[in-house]
């Protein structure tokens, strides 16, 4: 059996995904054949993977990023169970890339054995094929109300004999209590697999932190494998970068004389909002996620991103006054872009008997198209062109353009010449995610958007390569792991498992069955 490791966290967004990616990149650079794994992910940010049968399937975007850190193509087995929330009460279940069911609190208990069996089988296959599999947990392993059916955190570790490290975000405060409490709430058999800790997002003098690390070691019998610093450049593919009011990344100074201000509406059920990260890599482009109508009024370009629930988020736009701000922006002749669900909201009407089951609802009426939802989900990688410029992307949607003004020009064209999306004046729409990762297309779009917005001093840089920016981010993660973690100790842990003499920390939860 190959070596393995589970990266658990004290909370959601503690840094599990980026630490997993960093460890993967470190191992890959050592020449280790390594793969990532997350048994179950709950996220509306997904990537399209082409399966062995040639069909497209979905996995969590974080696992696609981790695969890139390993230097390998993404695989459906890297994230066998993906839950895509459509509301507070229900999520679509994607099993080995394919949408198979809808899960609620009421039926999850009955569905869970099937999901666990699929996850365990996928991990076994990966461990047979790779030298090391670095697994990422979900939420916290100390969610004791969910432990009995857990197959993502300590349930997975117990099943596969995985040594476990717990990462905590010190930027939130209370990290020592969270780490101690995480171990102390586990039953003795689970505690036996928790080998130590990693501190994430530290700012300041490490000397001031050291006494706390020493005390944590004394009271738990477990070392801290290292302290990762807070770093401004770690924002690509990180879901916690998509917060309200947050400017993505560190915008570089304009290549020309003008900035281009981009406002992205932070929808309640936003999906694949990482599409706008490609825009944010360009010098002079400032991208902010917002829920403030005033910020839309001040923006040069407004983006309506993807949504897992188009009709519900369209209603939210109207309730919050953002719909009026979007239409006013378009009426002023300023550029507006809709991507996937955002494109669907721009239509005259949306016919949805599938996701919301609300039938026909009026859209924003900014594009002369109608959208109809089909029970069959389109999941595929796409390639084509825009005005002769190559474009690649991927599609994940139930809705399709069922009616369109025949004179309406498409935004993109598939390789066979078929049109996709639409453009009318300064209003643009497409179902393609990832299109702006195509560098020349992104530059042309931003140049046109800046001209339309009156930012005549804006110039796109000729040398921004998005794929290179992503690789630099992954290399930075690998550098941070090598520089700040005890990699020799980590390697021994991966190869030999958790030490046999780890103490039990009271009170400990009752043993699970």
Q: Residue 64: what pLDDT? A: 95
CATH-assigned architecture of domain 3-230: 3-Layer(aba) Sandwich (3.40)
Residue 28 is inside which H or E element, if any? helix 16-29
State the Rg of the chain over Cα: 23
pTM of the prediction?
Answer: 0.93
- Cα–Cα distance, 144 to 185 (Å, whole number): 7
Res 491: pLDDT:
97
Domains 3-230 and 241-465 share a fold: yes
Q: Where do the domains of the chain lie?
A: 3-230, 241-465
Nearest of 196, 201, 198, 170 to residue 183 by alpha carbon:
196
Cα–chain center distance at 330: 29
CATH topology of domain 241-465: Rossmann fold (3.40.50)
Residue 243 has what pLDDT? 58
For residue 157, report the phi and psi dihedrals to the nearest 5 degrees.
-60, -45
Residues designated catalytic: 340, 433
Predicted local distance difference test score (pLDDT) of residue 108: 81
pLDDT tens for the 513 residues of the chain, in order? 589 999 999 998 899 999 999 999 999 999 999 999 999 999 888 999 987 777 889 999 999 999 999 999 999 999 999 999 887 778 899 999 998 888 887 788 888 999 999 999 999 999 999 999 999 999 999 999 889 999 999 999 999 999 999 999 999 889 999 999 999 999 999 999 999 999 999 998 899 999 999 999 999 999 999 999 988 888 777 665 555 567 888 889 999 999 999 999 999 999 888 899 999 999 999 999 999 999 999 999 999 999 999 999 999 999 999 999 999 999 999 999 999 999 999 999 999 998 888 999 999 999 999 999 999 999 999 999 999 999 999 999 999 999 999 999 999 999 999 999 999 999 999 999 999 999 999 999 999 999 999 999 999 999 999 999 999 999 999 999 999 999 999 999 999 999 999 999 998 877 765
For 463, the token pair is: 């040398």
Rounded-to-integer distance, Cα 489 and Cα 491, Å: 5
Neighbour-count burial for 297-311, b at 16+ CB within 10 Å, e otherwise: eebbbbbbbbbbbbb
End-to-end CA gap in the chain: 25
- Residue 324 CA to residue 321 CA, distance in Å, equals 5
For residue 235, what pLDDT is reported?
Answer: 74
For 102, phi and psi rounded to 5 degrees? -120, 130
User: What is the distance between the alpha carbons of residues 156 and 81, in angstroms, rounded to a whole number?
Assistant: 13
pLDDT value at residue 242:
57
Question: How many residues does this entry show for the chain?
Answer: 513
């Amino acid at each position: 059996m190959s070596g393995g490791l589970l990266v658990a966290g004290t909370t959601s967004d503690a840094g599990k995904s980026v630490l997993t990616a960093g460890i993967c990149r470190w191992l890959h650079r050592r020449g280790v054949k390594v793969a990532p794994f997350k048994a179950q992910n709950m996220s509306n940010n997904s990537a399209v993977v082409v399966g062995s049968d040639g069909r497209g399937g979905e996995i969590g975007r974080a696992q696609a990023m981790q695969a890139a850190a390993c230097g390998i193509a993404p695989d459906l087995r890297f994230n066998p169970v993906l839950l895509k929330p459509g509301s507070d009460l229900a999520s679509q279940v994607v099993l080995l890339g394919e949408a198979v069911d809808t899960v609620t609190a009421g039926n999850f208990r009955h569905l869970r054995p099937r999901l666990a069996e699929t996850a365990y089988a996928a991990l076994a296959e990966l461990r047979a094929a790779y030298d090391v599999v670095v697994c990422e947990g979900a939420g916290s392993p100390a969610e004791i109300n969910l432990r009995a059916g857990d197959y993502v955190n300590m349930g997975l570790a117990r099943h596969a004999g995985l040594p476990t490290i717990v990462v905590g975000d010190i930027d939130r405060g209370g990290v020592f209590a969270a780490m101690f409490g995480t171990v102390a709430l586990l039953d003795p058999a689970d505690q036996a697999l928790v080998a130590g800790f990693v501190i994430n997002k530290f700012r300041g003098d490490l000397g001031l932190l050291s006494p706390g690390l020493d005390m944590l070691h004394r009271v738990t019998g477990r070392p801290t494998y290292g302290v990762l610093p807070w770093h401004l450049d770690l924002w690509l593919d990180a879901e916690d970068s998509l917060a309200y009011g947050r400017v993505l990344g560190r915008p570089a100074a304009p290549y020309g004389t003008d900035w281009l201000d981009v406002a992205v509406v932070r929808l309640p059920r936003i999906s694949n909002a990482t599409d706008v990260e490609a825009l944010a890599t360009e010098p002079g482009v400032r991208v902010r996620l917002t829920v403030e109508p005033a910020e839309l009024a001040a923006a040069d370009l407004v983006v309506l991103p993807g949504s897992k629930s188009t009709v519900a988020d369209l209603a939210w736009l109207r309730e919050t006054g953002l719909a009026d701000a979007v239409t006013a922006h378009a009426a002023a002749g300023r550029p507006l872009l809709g991507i996937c669900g955002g494109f669907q909201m721009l239509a005259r009407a949306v016919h949805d008997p599938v996701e919301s089951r609300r039938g026909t609802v009026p859209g924003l009426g900014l594009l002369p198209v109608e959208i109809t939802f089909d029970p069959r989900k389109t999941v595929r990688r796409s390639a084509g062109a825009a005005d002769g410029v190559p474009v690649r992307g991927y599609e994940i949607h139930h809705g399709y353009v069922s009616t369109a003004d025949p004179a309406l020009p498409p935004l993109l064209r598939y390789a066979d010449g078929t049109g996709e999306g639409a453009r009318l004046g300064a209003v643009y729409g497409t179902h393609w995610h990832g299109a702006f990762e195509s560098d020349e297309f992104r530059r042309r779009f931003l140049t046109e958007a800046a001209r339309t917005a009156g930012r005549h001093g804006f110039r796109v840089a000729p040398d921004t390569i998005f794929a290179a920016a992503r690789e630099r981010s992954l290399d930075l993660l690998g550098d941070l792991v090598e520089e700040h973690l005890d990699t020799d100790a980590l390697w021994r842990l991966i190869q030999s498992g958790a030490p046999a003499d780890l103490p039990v920390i009271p009170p400990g939860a009752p043993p699970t069955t």
